[in-house]
Structures are given as structure tokens and as C-alpha cells.
Amino acid sequence: MYIRKSSLRFSSVFLVIILFLIFFTSKLIWIQFFRSSYLANRAEKQHKHGIKIEPKRGTIYDRKMRPLAVNVSVHSLFANPRHMTDEDKLRAIEKLSALLGLDKEFLKSRLGRKKYFVWLARKLDSQTAEEVRKLEIRGLSFRKESKRHYPNQYLAAHVIGYAGMDNKGLEGLELLYDRYLKGESGWTQILRDAKHRELLIEKEAIPARDGFNIILTIDETIQFIAEQALEKAFIKHNAKSASIIVMDPMTGEILALANRPTYDLTEFADSRAESRPNRAVVYVYEPGSVFKIVAATAALEEEVFMETDEIYCENGEYRIANHILHDSHPHGTLTFREVIEQSSNIGTTKIAQKLGASVFYKYAKRLGFGRKTGIDLIGEVSGLLKPPSQWSKTSIGALPIGQEVTVTPLQLVCAISCIANGGVYMKPYVVKYIVDNTDELIKKFEPEAFGRIISEDTAQRVKEILKGVVENGTGRRARIKGVHVAGKTGTAQKVIGREYSHNRFYASFVGFAPAEDPRVAAVVVFEEPHPSYYGGTVAAPVFREMMVDTLKYLEANDYN
């Protein structure tokens, strides 16, 4: 009986062993033949860690190779929650929230994840990173990255724009030329042990390609001169906004471009929305009397008037259809030259009436109004220039004096440059070269002429009239001792709703110097300056201050 029970017990144990052996053998066969690839790949992933190699974003330089936007090395903090105890996590939450200003709930959420890698704070400076290291909290580490830095903060902010946290261009040239600046990421694989610790052994690597560098037409010194002059007047005249553009009239190169209000590129995330638009390119306004250069140019080119021809200015009141046109100061008889010098609305309207709507419109188009200039900046608008078929009975008295037409400051400086350079419309541009890190040329941008707009003779005659505006007329505050300046003032009522305001104005001045051999053309525009609001009072002095310092700088540096 005892032997029988023992035999039964032995058979049962043996059967169990056989069943387990069959089960594990089957499991091994399943793993070996059907799961081997999956498990091998998983093991490889656990021991190999792919790291993205960030390329260095290209530098933006001014025309003299002075950096305007560069990348600097920074430190980004990450954590390995799987290697942190609850005590480590609590300590990290308390210390990092105080040191980095991070929300405790944010840190708790990040550290509560069952992951080997989570970002806690990106792109910290060296001093802050060192303070975190001194905490000696297990599971925290740093990875080197780069951050966009703007050494001049506000300078040329609306030209340069900015790049975000991941070095992606978001505004200005940073956005427009992002594909050149950003470069291409690389990759490397680092071996890790079973506890996911990096062994600093590279298995494979694809190097990053750094971004290309961009050299601008902007001159840092002229940009500073222009911004300084604009800022002082912006504050003095309590203006809502202001713009200035400085251009080489012979080449179309933009030497400076600034707007107010502006913002600090290093703190762009905290800037106000109204401070970021590039008003000189993306905003339009009715230009007022600066637009009278169109009628003057067309009349001389078409030989409809001579400079000495007399025009009766109706003593300040002139009826056009059902509208009475006024001059700011009543005039009797003026010569053609004096009409422009004294900025007579009535005299200019009579010039346009003799030209005819179609001829006036033709020259307005030739001088670049009603279309984009093609500048390499984001968001340029074309403004409004109605064809004669859309004019009303009073339009012939409105468009020639800068009403019922909208322009950008950029269009105005391009138009005045046509007169300065002898009658050729030059395309404006802000990028001269694109080069790689070995200075090998990738792309070059040359001056581009859109064609001759007026004859050299006409350009010279208009130039002489614009010299008279500064010497004898409304632009006296733009005069520079020892230098002949040519220019035109403008004071325009601002349109509020569908009515012209009687207490809100645009004040403008556009001109160039030296008049005999122009080196610099510029436009200055203020929106709603007060209590002074005339272009000759508000904008012309800014032009003068900028031009005096710019010409001194150009002469001292034997500029080209």
C-alpha cells in the first residue's frame, strides 16, 4: 500500500516537471523564433541613446561685419525621474521653484512621470546652471544648447526680428532667411548601461551643418544715429508712432531703418503687440504735401510747365466741384518753383489739372506708388493709388496734394531716391551677402534698377526745386551749414472713420544730401505728434540731426 502511494506521488511530480519543461521549452522556442527580433531591438534601444546635435544658427552682421544677432552657449536642465527617490523629487521641487521661479505643480507633474528624460528648464545662463549643480540633487543633469542673443537689444529690431526658444526664426530677417540661418541637425548614438547611465561612447554620428551667416546693408553706426534722433523727437513731440529710413540712393541699400514704438529683442516675449510691426514697411498713411513731388516731376518731364511759369493761387481758396480747397497760408501769384517751395495746395492742383488725370497717375505709378518695392522684408504692403477711372470729381484736387492715396515711408524714400540719383528707380534691399563659416559665398545680392523713370535733366531740375524748399520754403529746419540739402515737407490730416481729423496729423520730411552729389536719402514720418504737428517743425529737424552725424561718419570712414 505504501509502495503504491509512493509510486503515485512520484508519477505526479514527474508529470508536473514534464509539463513545466514543455511549457518553458515552448516559451523559449516562441521567443527564439518569433520574438527574437523585437526583443533584440528593444534591448538595443535600451542600451543606445540617440541624441540630436543642434546646429549653430548663422550670425547676422551689419555691413562692417559687426554682429547684430549671434548664438551663445547655454545650459538646459533635465531630470531622470526613474532614478530619483521621493525625497530627491521633493527637494528638487522646493529648491528649483525658488531658484528658477518655476511653479511647484509644474515640477511635480514633470517629476511624476515614469520616464528617463524630462525637460525642466531650457537655456539657462552659466551662473544659474552652476547654482543648480551646487544643489547636488540626484537625477538632475544638463545638456548644452545654444540661444539667440542680440547684443544691441533694441537696435534695428524691426529689421532683424527674432528667433524663438528652439532657434527658429519668428519675425523679421530671422524668419525670412530662416532656411539659410538655421542649418541642419545632426545625430549621435551614445551607449548606456543597464541603469541608463551614458557611457560617453559614441557608436554612430552624423555631424550637424551650421547655418549660413548673413551680411546686411545696414550700418550699425548709422542705425544708431537714426534711432537716437528719432527717439528724442518721438518723446519730445508725444507722437503715437514714428519711422525713419536711411538709404543709399545710388544702390538701393538700406543703411538704417527704425520705428517707434520699438522693443528689446532679448525680451521679445514680453513686448507689446503694437511695438513689433515694422511700420516703415507694413503701415500706410496719406502722405500730404510730400506727394507734391509727383506733380512737379510729371510737369517738368512732360514739358507742361517751366520753373518760372506763373500760377495764380487764388489767395488761398479754390473751388473744385462742390469742394473748396485751401492753402495753409494764402498766396496770390507764385512761380512753378515757388508753388513747390511754399507747398501751395492750390498751385499744385492747378499743375495736376493741366497735366490731366491719366498723366498724373502714370508718373505716380512710375515713382513706385500703388505697388510694392520688392524689398526683402516681411509684410510689405502696396498702399492705395486709384486709377483715374475710380476718381471722383474732386480727386484731381486731392491726389496731387497727398489725399485719397496711401503710401509707406519706404515708397517715399525710394521715390525721392529716383530724383537724387538722376532718374533711376532702384530696388531697396537689406541683405548683401550670405556666406558659410569659411566665408565662402553662398549668395550675393547686387543693386537692381527697375529702369529709368525720368530723364537726368528733369531729375536735376526737380533737385534744384527741392533745394529751394529747404533754403527758402517749408523745409528750412532741415538746412545744414555748408551742405546743400534737397527735400520736401508734408503735413497730412489723419483720417478717423471716414472724416479728416482737425487735431490729428502725420508730419513728414523726405530728402537727400549733399544735393549736388547725393550720398544719403531719408524719410522721417511721425503719427499724431502734438502740440507741434507740421512736417517742417517735427520731421525736418530729425532729418537734419541724422544727416549731419551720418555725413560726418561717412566722410571720416572714407565710406563706400
Catalytic residues: 289
Q: Strand 213-216 relative to strand 241-247: parallel, antiparallel, unpaired? A: unpaired
CA 137 to CA 95: how far, in whole Å?
A: 10
Task: Report the distance separating Cα 191 and Cα 170, nearest Å.
Answer: 36
Q: Is 253 helix (H, G, I), strand (E, B) or coil?
A: strand
DSSP string, 347-415: HHHHHHHHH-HHHHHHHHHHTTTTS----SSTT----EE--GGG--TTGGGTGGGT-SEEB-HHHHHHH
Contacts of 90 (CB under 8 A, 6+ apart): none
The count of C-alpha atoms lying within 13 angstroms of the C-alpha of 476, restricted to the half-sphere facing its C-beta, is 4
The Cα 302–Cα 287 span in angstroms is 24
Residues 6+ apart with CB under 8 A from 53: 185, 186, 187, 188, 205, 206, 207, 208
Local structure of 136: helix, strand or coil: coil
- Here the cell at position 98 is 525658488
Map grid coordinates 546686411 to a residue.
Answer: 216
Euclidean distance between CA atoms 225 and 490, whole angstroms:
23
Contact 196, 206 (CB under 8 A): no
Q: Which of 123, 131, 132, 140 is nearest to 89 (CA)?
A: 140
Rounded Cα–Cα distance for residues 535 and 524 (Å): 9
Q: CA–CA separation, 364 vs 295, rounded Å?
A: 8
* Matching residue, cell 485719397: 404
Q: Which residues pair with 242 in a beta bridge?
A: 260, 526
> Residue 288 — left, alpha, or beta (φ > 0 → left; ψ -120 to 50 → alpha)?
left
